[in-house]
Amino acid sequence: MFESEEQKKRVELIITLLAKLYVVLELSVDNCPVCHKPFAHDLECPIALAWTLLTEDQQRDARAAIRALALSIGADDTLADPMVH
């Protein structure tokens, strides 16, 4: 199916990035930018399809990584608060 190992790695990277976007959208109130569904995806949405290609362990790891990133961004925002208290 793939002509080279490099193409296989690119496909794996795309699937991983789309799956992480799935987690970001779980945490967001915005609609999916691809299928435009709120809090869900249509059956052919590439983001949802990528998510289903991950194992349960990979899904858990992706959720943990994105949540940790979200918390670190939130913590950084509180440190950069320009308001004097």
16 within some domain: yes
72 within some domain: yes
**Chain centroid offset of residue 33 CA:** 12
Range of the domain at 10: 5-79
**Domains identified in the chain, total number:** 1
CB 47 within 8 A of CB 15: no
39 within some domain: yes
pLDDT at residue 1, as a whole number? 55
pLDDT at residue 57, as a whole number? 93
pLDDT at residue 2, as a whole number? 59
Mean pLDDT, consecutive 10-residue stretches, the chain (85 aa), reads 80 86 81 81 83 90 84 57 45
